[in-house]
Amino acid sequence: MKVLIADTMSPRAAEILRERGLTVDERPGLAPKELAKIVGGYDGMAVRSSTKITAEVLDAATNLKVVGRAGIGVDNIDVPAATARGVVVMNTPFGNSITTAEHAIAMMLALARQIPEADQSTRAGKWEKNRFMGVEVANKSLGQIGCGNIGSVVANRAQGLKMRVLAYDPFLSADRAKEIGVERVELDDLLARADFISLHTPLTDQTRNILDAKALAKTKKGVRVINCARGGLIVEEALHAALVAGHVAGAALDVFAAEPAKDSPLFKLPNVVATPHLGASTTEAQENVAIQVAEQMADFLLLGAVTNALNMASVSAEDAPKLRPYMRLAEQLGGFAGQITDSGLKSVRIEFQGHVASLNTRPLTAVVLEGLLSPLMSSVNMVNAPVVARERGIEIVESTNERAGDYTSLVRITVESEGRTRTVAGTLFANQKPRVVEIDGIALEAELGPHMLFLINEDKPGFIGNLGTLLGNARVNIATFHLGRNRAGGDAIALIEVDEGVPEAVIEQLRRLALVKQAMPLRFPGMVRTARAA
C-alpha cells in the first residue's frame, strides 16, 4: 500500500510508515490540481494545514482509503465529500494539546502585561514605565468557551495561576467539570462574569461567530479576549469596534477568519497581540502529531483499526482482530438481507446478542448497512453507508443484549420495506466461521459461498426431487444444500450453494416450478470458495 505525505512534517512520520511496510512518497506543496493528478495511486494521505483536500481532489482519489491530519483542525479537508466517497478522515487531537494550551496562557499573560508593545517601546530607546500598567490574572475569572482536550489543560494551568475558571461547553458533564475543577455556566453567564475569555472550540455551524457584536455587548467592561482555537469564532469587525470603544480592554489572537492574515484592521490597534497561528508550533508538538498520524494510518491500512476518525466509529488495534470475524458475518448478513429485499427500505433493526454485544458494535452496524445498501446502489462502504441510509430516511435501530440464547453470539437483522418485513440471523462457528442460522423465522444452518440460490416454497412431498432434477438438467452443480421450514406443510426455505452463477433462464424455470413462491440468485463476490463435498 502507498501513502502520500502531502505537507512538510517531521521525518518520523515517513520513517514509521516505512517501518510498518508501507510505501511512502513525500510531495509537499502541491496545489489541488497537481494533487488531483497523482492522488489516484495512493491508499492513504497525510497532511497538515496547508494542503487542501477538496471534493475535486477526492473525486480523483480512486484508491484513497484514509486521510490523516497531523493536528486537530480539518478546515482544509472536505469531510462531507470524503465521507460520501467512503474515505476515513482522522485527526490527532491529543498531540498538540499542551502546546496550544501553553500558547493560550502565554497570550493571556502577554495581553495582561502588555508585553509585546512594551518590548517594542523599550527597543526604540524609550523607557515608558508608567505607560504600561498591566493587570494581574490571580483571583480573576477566566471564562472558557469550550472545555475539551485543550480547554481542560488551559483550565489546569489557569488554576495554577490562582484564577477561577468558568466553562461553557454543552458537552461538558457535571462529573467532568467537578473533576477538573471548573464551574459549568451558560454562555450569557460567562460573558457577564469573565475578566478574561478564552476560546477552545472547533469551528462549526453552532460556534461560528459565537462572539459577535451582541455577545460582546454582554461582556464585562474591560474584558480581555484570547483566541488560539479557530478563526471565525469571533466577528472581527465587532471585536475591532469594541476595542476602539474601550469596552474590550484587549485581545490576543493567534487565529483569524482569513489566513494568512496580512492586512487586518486589528493589527493597527495597540491593545491587540497577534501571532501567526503558532498554537501548535513547537518542536515537541510537531513531532507528536507526526508520530501519531503515522501510527493511526498504518494501524488502519494494515489492521483495520480506526482511531480519532471524524466520520467513522473507532476500532482499537486491540479490538480489530476480535471484530474481524464479526465484520465478515455482518457483511454477509447485510448483503443477504439487501439482496432479498425487493422494494424501498423503511427501517433496519440490528440486534446483537451474547458475546458480540459486549464488543464495539458501531462498526458492525456500519458494515451491516454497507452490505444491505450495496445491492441497491454503487459506491457504498462502511464509512458512508450510515450517512446514505439517513439521507434516504431509513430508520436505523440498534440493540444489544449480552445474555446468550441458543448461540454464544447472534446477530439478527430485521428489514422493513414497502412490501414486507424480512429477517436474517447469523452466528460464528468456532468463533471464526460465519453461518446463517435463521431466515424469516425459519431455522437452518448454512455457510454462504460466492454463488447461492434462495428459494421459498410450499412444504410438499416431491419438491426437492423436482428441484434437483431441474438443476441437474441445467448442468448446475450443487455444492451445499440447506433446508428449513416453519411447520409441516407450511413454508420451507432452500439455501443452495452452486459452483457458478446460474443463468437467468434457469432462474425463470425455478420460479415456474410447482410450489415455488420465490426463487432468486444471491452473490457474495468477496468470498473465497473453500473445498466442500458436493
Residues noted as catalytic: 230, 259, 277
Residue with grid cell 489572537, as numbered in its chain: 253
Question: Would strands 409-417 and 345-354 be described as parallel, antiparallel, or unpaired?
Answer: antiparallel
Q: Which of 415, 375, 414, 370 is nearest to 389 (CA)?
A: 370
Q: Using CA atoms of 455, 490, 330, 453 in order, give the dihedral in degrees to the nearest 10.
A: -10
Count of CB atoms within 10 A of residue 263's CB?
8
The answer to whether 99 and 285 are in contact (CB under 8 A) is yes
Count of CB atoms within 10 A of residue 266's CB?
18
3-state secondary structure of 485: strand
Q: How far apart are CA 440 and CA 442, in angstroms?
A: 6
* DSSP H helices in 68-219: 79-84, 97-112, 115-123, 149-160, 174-180, 187-193, 213-217
Q: How far apart are CA 381 and CA 364, in angstroms?
A: 12
| H, E, C per residue of 464-481 | HHHHHHHHHHCCCCEEEE
